[in-house]
Amino acid sequence: MHAVGVITEYNPLHNGHLYHLQQAKQQTGADCTVVVMSGNWLQRGEPAILDKWTRAQLALQAGADLVIELPVFFATQPAHLFARGGVELLTALGCESLVFGAEHPELDFGQLMAAFPNGREAFKQYNATYATLFNAALKTATGQALTKSNDMLGYCYYVANQHLGGHLKLVSIQRQVADHNDAAIHMSQFASGTAIRQAALTGNWSAVAKVVPATTLAQLQQQPLVSWADFWPYLHYQLMSTTVERSGQFDQMAEGLEYRLREMAQSATSFDDFLTRVKSKRYTYTRLQRVATATLLQLTATEVQAAQMQNYLRVLGFSPVGQAYLHQVKKELTLPLYTKMSKDLRLHELALDYRAGRVYELINHQTQDLYRRPLMIENAPK
């Protein structure tokens, strides 16, 4: 069997994602679709509106064959590290191609990468806070800037793929209608995840129903919906009780930011109020949310960087086709494969994902990791 990979979050799975899954198989002729999906904490530094098991089930019902969790130490990182983690997992699984959505799929991402050969090194200097500087350097070298989030991710996929040996054929497809950050649902079958989450959290189900599969609508109406507002009391406690020396060790914490976070937390009345108070020209909202996530989960830069050197394959679910594909490649895997979290794994190899899941459970109230086994969907559509 031949496999195509996609890297996604499904927060939640909507009609644009369904189109992406359909196009992935159509454009590559693959037998098996492998989805690498973020767990309960996401790239923009926020909790998923639905837990990872519900989102994995929706992916399988939408036609995915194998769902692998992107570990929290890659899922909550800037674009270049998020891309590196996902590409590494797809490469380890023997996927032949990666299909991704882009605002401008006509861009020659490979040529951009070739014209800016120090792109990977530039990411070390220009992190997510300094995306403008990175784009300035890219434009100087290539004449092209990447101002849209999915275009930037596409570029990062090319850089990661080259670094990991270039095993994947990368295919870009047109992102459908809605911009990534579009906050409104228009007269279309497509809408951004941002708009869908806002509508779901306010109970505007008639709007949501137009832009998501029926299975997604049902889960949104039945499951507890999670947002940063739910975690604010826990984050507030962490900010007020943790020493600034300890806070300074958290992942992606800029020097001196720990003092600003603690100061602003004293008078903040909500998570949104807190972000508004902390925001400055130096820090984007996304950067601040990722730092807040690291603070809430107590993720230090040292342990995150160590974990990134020991990536692994955590199976969340599969169809019969996905199960057969796993059996086909199992002996050739270059990364550890886990299908169940034991007491030993929660203390060692899977410790950070276990911690992230336990915090999510404070709001979700459903076991996320210990002894959970992969979902099996018997009749996923072709």
Annotated binding-site residues for ATP read 7-20, 101, 150, 175
Q: Which of 17, 196, 213 is nearest to 100 (CA)?
A: 17
Question: Closest by alpha carbon to 286, among 79, 29, 51?
Answer: 79
Instruction: Answer whether 63's CB lies under 8 Å from 379's CB.
Output: no
Q: What is the 3 state secondary structure string of 111-137?
A: HHHHHCCCHHHHHHHCCHHHHHHHHHH
254: tokens are: 């800029």
d(CA 62, CA 117): 38
Q: Is the CB of residue 63 less than 8 Å from the CB of residue 21?
A: yes
Provide the 10 A C-beta neighbour count for residue 30.
Answer: 21
Spell out the alpha helix ranges (H) of the chain: 15-28, 52-61, 72-75, 79-92, 109-115, 119-125, 131-142, 149-163, 193-201, 205-209, 214-222, 228-241, 244-247, 257-265, 271-278, 285-297, 301-308, 320-329, 343-347, 351-364
The annotated binding site is made up of 7-20, 101, 150, 175
d(CA 296, CA 360): 10
- List b or e across 236-265, with b for residues whose CB sees 16 or more CB atoms inside 10 angstroms: bebbeebeeeebbbbbbbeeebbebbbebb
Secondary structure (3-state) at 218: helix
DSSP 359: H
Dmax (CA) for the chain in angstroms is 58
**To which residue do tokens 């492998």 refer?**
34
Triad 369, 157, 374: Cα angle to 5°: 20
CA–CA distance, 57 with 370 (Å, rounded to integer): 18
